[in-house]
Amino acid sequence: MADLSPKQLVFVQEYLRHNNITAAAKAAGYSEKSAHVQGSRMLKNDKVKQYLNKNEQNLNRDLREMFVADAVKAYEVMKDIMNDPAAQHRDRLSAAKDLLDRAGYKATDKIVADVSSEGTVTVVFDAGMSP
């Protein structure tokens, strides 16, 4: 962005890299004593805020795109472990639970049901799943 001064540009780049106001301000050339105050002031500057927002959005988009392929690979690995009859039972169960968890299913700890006028029955399920 041509609207930012060289100090502002360095500050923004360092802030995006480390998410630390003081370190970014020092890298931009501010003294140890005034770095935090100057960095806070920079974050209030409209041009700096706009530039940061734009770059954070681009960075988030790029990261999401990078991890899409890895997420598909991770899913395939978990599915392969779950379906591998030679894998240990605990590993298969762990992979199955992870897949269900990522799909939004949570293990049911217990279900309480009033069955009759005699009282309440509590049933505990270790591996029960509920959407």
Secondary structure (DSSP) of 2-14: TTS-HHHHHHHHH
In tens digits, the chain (131 residues) has pLDDT values of: 458 888 898 998 898 888 899 999 999 999 999 999 999 999 999 999 888 888 888 888 888 888 888 888 888 999 999 999 999 999 998 998 888 888 888 766 655 555 555 555 555 555 444 44
**Residue 11 has which token pair?**
């500050």
Give the amino acid at 92.
Answer: R
